[in-house]
Chain A
Amino acid sequence: MADKILKKLNIKVWRQKNAASKGKFETYTIENISTGSSFLEMMDILNNELIEKGIDPIAFDHDCREGICGTCSLYINGRPHGPDTEVTTCQLHMRKFKDGETITVEPWRAAAFPVIKDLVVDRTAFEKILQAGGFISVNTGGVPDANAIPVAYEDAEEAMDAAACIGCGACVAACKNSSAMLFVSAKVSHLAKLPQGKVEAKKRALNMVAKMDELGFGGCTNTGACEVECPKSISITNIARLNREYLGARLSK
């Protein structure tokens, strides 16, 4: 409960100047970190020390620091978002580490997520998949009253379960094939579960899957690693639903 001090940690971290250069690991030592600090606060402290020593600080993505924006993206000791369950890196705390430990920090590794600098990767591929069909085609205004279409409680809840995806990319990073199936299936399920989204369901599944394949994500071989590492516990049931939606759409084409 009470915070302790980790006297010394070795941070073995991926350094890469830019997309074109070749990266390598560097190891830095950091002292006196409170177990009550978050992992990213530890990184802030390390960075301030590096700056004072005249070393370029480590670039990493982060923003809300409360586990919802999906920006942070570190692969820590071989796991996306590090050694805790149902958290993003920004919610990971130093009490999960031991004094004297060497902590290995890498960027997401996937062909579709090229490294921009150090630990920062380019997730534009996710944007493109969503632009291919991850929406309901309604304009602002001219829509019916919100209560005009009743939605069964269970359907709304299941849609919400899938809609909770934060688009961080941990599923891709966890997958040995770098598959984006969990991400894509979450959006397809969210919208297919609601009557408003059913109208375009077939087109949506076909277009999003086609875009996913085009962008270099791997295929799904049902290992379930994505579900285990997902900070929001998105279920692989969604992948089954996507397969059904996709197959149905192909057959009726």
Chain B
Amino acid sequence: MSILNSKIPEGPLAEKWSKHKANIKVVSPANKRKLEIIVVGTGLGGASAAASLAELGYKVKAFCYQDSPRRAHSIAAQGGINAAKNYQNDNDSVFRLFYDTIKGGDYRSREANVYRLAEVSPNIIDQCVAQGVPFGREYGGLLANRSFGGVLVSRTFYARGQTGQQLLLGAYQALNRQIAKGNVEMYSRHEMLDVVKIDGKARGIIARDLVSGKIKRFGAHAVVVATGGYGNVFFLSTNAMGSNGSAAWQCYKKGAFMANPCFVQIHPTCIPVHGDQQSKLTLMSESLRNDGRVWVPKKKEDAVKLQKGEISPNDIPDEDRDFYLERRYPSYGNLVPRDVASRAAKERCDAGFGVNSEGKAVFLDFKYAIERLGKDVIEARYGNLFQMYEKITDVDPYKNPMMIYPAIHYSMGGTWVDYNLMTTVPGLYSIGEANFSDHGANRLGASALMQGLADGYFVLPYTIGDYLADEIMTPKIDTNAPEFEEAEKEVTGRLEKLYNIKGSKTVDYFHKKLGHVMWDYVGMSRNTEGLKKAIEMIQQIREEFWKDVKVPGELDNLNPELEKAGRVADFLDIGELMARDALDRNESCGGHFREESATEEGEAKRDDKNFTYVSCWEFKGEKQEPVLHKEDLVFENVKLTQRSYK
């Protein structure tokens, strides 16, 4: 039935990866030297992959749009990285990490991939320590752990509130070492604008040198896309300003299927939107919910006074505060998973209990923790986050509760890959957040870093050999081939088209407009009518964009507006596909909430009978409807149950 072959190995779950490694092909050192690999993106996935592949002897070309590989947005991850080390003797295991991840993802990910992720997780910690990542330690000199949402053990390793930064710097150091040795050619301030296929196989990319504006061709025997998620389709998100879905989208247009695009994570604890001048949302770490209590006023008149700025939160006595998470979910309380906490905040604000001038914020209050533990303890735990909050809002969170609201944070959906991390295009791989494979419909905290590094250090360097072993007779890819010529022409044509519209509205105007549609109809709560409306509205915005956008500057110079225009053009397409996918999936699971599929109490209701599949979308041409393929998910090792946090 399906044309999708996930290539999941036969045999018991715990033996699949070992057996697979034993069966796949290996390339000899002499041949590795002749094989070239392009890696696009230098976050945790891309940097670790580029470094590891170069160490193996492949010739690597790495690309990033930033001025240095170290600036990829993995750098901003705060809380930590999970690994099944069981250093705490609290009965953690590979199976337990696997199980937590599958359950946290609401049973919409692949068993075999998730198990492998858990299996290689301990190696990641070993690798990072060997590289000099300064993880937090106990006084005895051994590694410390903290606990995180949705799990019962302490398996999260951390480097203060900057774990992503330290892990990325580790991978970046390994990458720098290979650059110095000449094994990696690094192309910073270069943006991939197309992937080039020859005889059906990925053979290179077209990239724009962002400084000179030159369009360049790069050939390779395989192409790895590690370009992160597409959360900026919402305009406001916790992603970096430059984070985009364009590389993945070009792959989609060249035949790589997009999987579960409607699965995006909305993080409950971000600093709320203020006014209409804002460009970006800032995350406050999930760890804050360990000690902060979430509340809104019980009485609507108090909420109204807060919205008007007539009273301060400290004027409201305890008995008039509604600790709604503790009320609705007594057993997990403030530590319910991200999707549940986000929806509960929205529910209160929609009911008119929001606490800022826009009515779109709830309180995260440390008063009780400070009374219980003292200010010093709270400062030691969260000092850097409190400082960040005060710098942004000018409010002292030691004296007043923080105001928080949910925001778009992570894309679980992404390019479809098989067990080898190869897309539906031979020779084209997708790793890290860019692929769909491990987090199902909701990602657990501290698991994004784990997946990026698992893919880059320990999975791709093995699986790519299976493909490249058959390419050893393929000579160096000729970038003068007609396929490169044509791809370059297409890229140049598109840039010129954008540039020559010379309309009346800025790129940001369209991006904001798209963001509003996405947030209102394809955000935290979705329904048939809204999704259909969203598709129509996005089509209208797209039409207007291609008629009336204004791109200033020059084509052959540094031109951030031109870069943005290309990305927003792709976001318009991605947004539409997300809405289509959300419309198809008439069930609620993880971060995807369909109003038609809820329990009487308003909780998400999964529909395993009809939707235990991965939605894989195939591009059929501009202005053509994409075709949906389904990869059925088979669960042999866990029993599907409705999640309950009550």
Contact = CB atoms under 8 A, between A and B. Distances in A.
Interface of A: 1-3, 17-18, 33-34, 36-38, 40-42, 44-45, 48, 50-52, 54-57, 59, 61-71, 84, 86-87, 91, 93, 95, 116-117, 120, 122-124, 126-127, 130-132, 134-141, 143-147, 149-153, 156-157, 159-160, 163-164, 166-167, 190-191, 193-194, 196-197
Given A34-B275, A68-B165, A143-B126, A136 B132 contact: yes
A135 B68 CA distance: 16
Contacts of B388: 66-67, 91
Given A2-B309, A63-B241, A146-B135, 17 more contacts: A44-B508, A48-B508, A57-B552, A57-B560, A59-B558, A63-B73, A65-B241, A66-B283, A68-B76, A69-B240, A91-B391, A91-B392, A120-B558, A124-B67, A131-B176, A139-B52, A196-B129
Contact of B66 (A63, A116, A134, A151): A63
B169 interface: yes
Given A68-B75, A196-B129, A160 B160 contact: yes
Interface in B318-362: none
Nearest to B164: A68
A69 B76 contact: yes
Interface in B135-184: 135-143, 159-160, 162, 165-166, 169, 172-174, 176-177, 179-180
B275 A3 contact: yes
A185 B159 CA distance: 20
Interface in B104-149: 122-123, 125-132, 134-143
B387 to A, nearest CB: 7
Contact of B506 (A1, A52, A137, A167): A52
B394 interface: yes
B461 interface: yes
Contacts of A197: 132
A143 B131 CA distance: 10
A38 B282 CA distance: 12
B177 A140 contact: no
Nearest to B312: A1
A37 B55 contact: no
Interface of B: 48, 51-52, 55, 66-68, 70-73, 75-76, 85, 87, 122-123, 125-132, 134-143, 159-160, 162, 165-166, 169, 172-174, 176-177, 179-180, 186, 188, 211, 238, 240-242, 274-275, 277-280, 282-283, 309, 387-388, 391-395, 457-458, 461, 506, 508-509, 550, 552-553, 557-561
A138 B130 contact: yes
B282 A151 contact: no
B499 to A, nearest CB: 13
Nearest to A118: B558
Contact of B557 (A18, A67, A136): A18
Contact of B174 (A135, A144, A160): A135
> Chain A contact residues: over half helix, strand or loop, or mixed?
loop
18 contacts: A18-B558, A52-B550, A61-B67, A63-B66, A64-B73, A66-B280, A70-B70, A120-B558, A135-B177, A136-B131, A138-B174, A140-B458, A141-B458, A147-B142, A153-B138, A157-B134, A167-B70, A190-B134
A195 B85 CA distance: 22
Contact of A132 (B68, B126, B180): B180
A123 B387 contact: no
A57 B554 CA distance: 11
Nearest to A122: B67
Contacts of B279: 38, 40-41, 44, 65
In order of increasing CB-CB distance, the 3 nearest A-B pairs are A150-B141, A135-B173, A143-B130
B141 A151 contact: yes
A79 B173 CA distance: 30
B275 A167 contact: no
Contact of A149 (B87, B129, B393, B395): B129
A153 B275 CA distance: 45
A243 to B, nearest CB: 21
Contact of B76 (A51, A66, A191): A66
A70 B71 contact: yes
Specify which of A62, A140, A191 lies most central, judged by the most chain B CB atoms within 10 Å of its CB. Answer: A140
- Which of A51, A64, A122, A160: most chain B Cβ within 10 A? A64
